[in-house]
Amino acid sequence: MSGLGRFDQDHLYPFTAVVGHEEAKLALCLLAVEPRIGGVLLRGDKGAAKTTLARSLARLMGDAPFVDLPLGATEDSVVGTLDLRGALESGERRFKPGLLARAHGGVLYVDEVNLLADHLVDVLLDAAVSGVNVVEREGVTHRHPARFVLVGSMNPEEGDLRPQLLDRFGLSVEVRSSRDPAERAEALRRRLAFDEDPAGFVAAWEDEERRLAERLGTARPARLSDDLFLAAAALAVEAGAQGLRADLTMVRAAAALAGLEGREEARLDDLRRVAPLALAHRLRRDPFDDPAERAADLDEVVERFFDRGPTQNSGAMHNMGGGRGDDAAAAAMDGEQRTAEAGGRPGGPLGESPPNPTFTAAGSLLSTNSTGRPDGRRSPNDRGGRKVGERKPEGEPTSIATAATVREAILRRSTDPDAPLLEVSDLREAVTSGKGGNLLVFAVDTSGSMGAARRVEAVRSAVSGFLADAYVRRDRVAVVAFAGEAARVVLRPTSSVEVARARLSELPVGGTTPLGEGIRRAAALADKEQGSDRAILILVTDGRATWAKSGDPVDDALEAARAVRRAQIPSVVVDAEDPRSTTGLAADVAAEMGAMRLPLHGLDPEFLVAVSRRHRRTDTTRR
């Protein structure tokens, strides 16, 4: 558990004073010994000491730099760009270092890394492993060392990282607040003591901090045996890990652990201790599994593997058609070793490294959207697009590509030094490219009308399957339930499978049907979210409106449906009426809404994916 709140900037809360979180502390120390592990991802509760641990680790590394990367950072601010002041004053193209250069030799911390643009996460992970940042911008090519310890943190309830990015973090740790009252009380006592007298508290932990700092400063990764290579490969296969990153991370972490404990060669017990940290985030899983159950299952696999002994595991590896697990892992290490040798391993306080079938109806879903664009593309409010170039604006520029604008001014003035410093013709705007996401807003009739349980179960099943890989598409879902005399948001926009699982586990059923209220509440949510995601409204109902604040409930529902059409919100009506006794009410709502109509049995994950894909393409937009 953490020390509740931010630190005194002159007196950082000591790393060794943090109560609990032993796995997180171990992972961070291993990364300090061997940064080529590729970063540590701390996943868990807010206020659970993630930032405290990352910041205090830099102090243990000899007061190394600590760089906190903000969520609003641009690619230029991270990797570096043209020095605009120098360009304007002297006309010279010089490189202006970014955050990667500032983090050299220290800790680069990214809070809420799951909300950072994917291409920036890629840049950080590449530099963390290679130790080098190469920039080619605005006619400037620059290469500089970028050897740092990368620490990312996130709250899974706010959405997950894509699997491709998650896999590239070397180690991952679940950081949860302690459920032990005694441990929580001790954390409170320490925090209050620190707040009362920061200098005195830090002094009381000085010896502990110094001893750990000395260990980190002198530790070097230990030697690795062929047996350990084979064991790591066999364990990765048995656990179901894909690719060789899990194997590679395990042996590097085992070598770092042995070195941290002062041993010259890593042992199988080292591998046993680090395996859960390297494997937990790399295994295939049902996204709606309980995280605690997944962790228990992995622990069982690891314990069973080591309890069998290396002889049986080696035989099992050969029986799987392998027998070359040690060669494969060693080859992977050799390949990454060459990359690391080109850029080196973090020096300074870190030391040097030793050599070692879609639903076809979806195609007809509306040809316009809330922005009025007939091609179904998202608006320029693309989240996290990569800069792919600049261009001369057509009409009024949406934003200024500063470096490109300065470059044009320099080129123009190179032939006429007395010309104005800047002219309108010099203006350039950035061109970015990125995949947009969609928000599917479900409005679900949970009233007591016949078939309510069937409607709720259909939505639960479809949403669960849709979110199973929504992180790939950058899609989110939201659910509005309406019954009685009100409509309420039961699931706010999210791509988190954990949040969806919790919110949709129990939806109460019963009461009258305020259909108009349900449509209006869902439309308002969809309209609110249009700036960041393209929203699509999916109404699940039998059309039998039985309550309204005033007037006839059916008329109220039809008017709400017409408002959706006027707002140009793409929509689908899932007709839950019993076909044996249909009244056509759902069809009337769909007609007034301008929506595609779908039978309840057609609502499944494949249909939702088809709807999402129908309205997605890679945008090249002006920023």
Q: What is the pLDDT of residues 261-309, one digit of tens each?
A: 999 999 999 999 999 999 988 875 555 455 666 677 788 888 889 888 6
pTM: 0.62
- pLDDT at residue 320 above 70? no
Q: What is the pLDDT averaged over residues 29-42? A: 93
Q: What is the pLDDT averaged over residues 566-587? A: 88
Q: Which long-range contacts (CB under 8 A, 24 or more apart) does 82-90 make?
A: 82/137, 82/138, 82/139, 82/140, 82/403, 82/406, 82/407, 84/402, 84/403, 84/406, 87/406, 87/407, 87/410, 88/406, 88/409, 88/421
Which range, of 289-298, 373-382, 602-611, averages the lowest pLDDT? Answer: 373-382
d(CA 316, CA 283): 20
H or E element: which one contains 409?
A: helix 402-413
- pLDDT at residue 546 above 90? yes
d(CA 618, CA 473): 11
Which range, of 90-94, 106-110, 462-466, averages the lowest pLDDT? Answer: 90-94
pLDDT at 314: 52
pLDDT at 99: 92
- pLDDT at residue 372 above 90? no
Is 521 tagged catalytic? no
In the set 245, 252, 460, 534, the catalytic residue is 245
What are the pLDDT digits (tens) for 408-428? 777 787 788 788 877 778 877
Q: Which two tokens stand for residue 319?
A: 């029986």
**Between 134 and 378, where is the model more confident?**
134
- In the DSSP assignment, the letter for residue 550 is S
Interacting residues of 166 by C-beta distance below 8 A, sequence separation 6+: 41, 160, 172, 281, 282
Q: Which two tokens stand for residue 621?
A: 């937009």
Q: Cα–Cα–Cα angle for 68, 74, 75, nearest 5°?
A: 100
What are the pLDDT digits (tens) for 233-266? 999 999 888 788 999 999 999 999 999 999 999 9
Most confident of 23-27, 136-140, 144-148, 444-448: 23-27
Number of Cβ atoms within 10 Å of the Cβ of 44: 21
Most confident of 268-282, 343-357, 459-473, 522-536: 268-282
pLDDT at 469: 67
Interacting residues of 433 by C-beta distance below 8 A, sequence separation 6+: 385, 386, 388, 618, 619, 620, 621
Number of Cβ atoms within 10 Å of the Cβ of 469: 15
**Between 182 and 347, where is the model more confident?**
182
pLDDT at 321: 39
Q: What is the pLDDT averaged over residues 524-528? A: 90
pLDDT at 436: 59
> In this structure, are residues 604 and 465 in contact, taking their beta carbons and an 8 Å threshold?
yes
Most confident of 72-81, 113-122, 292-301, 559-568: 559-568
pLDDT at 75: 84
d(CA 394, CA 399): 12
- pLDDT at residue 163 above 50? yes
Q: What share of the chain has pLDDT > 70, as a percent?
A: 76
Most confident of 170-184, 284-298, 340-354: 170-184
Average pLDDT value for the chain: 79
Place 446 in a pLDDT band, splitting at 50, 70 and 90: very high
Place of tokens 């879903």: 365
**Between 131 and 365, where is the model more confident?**
131
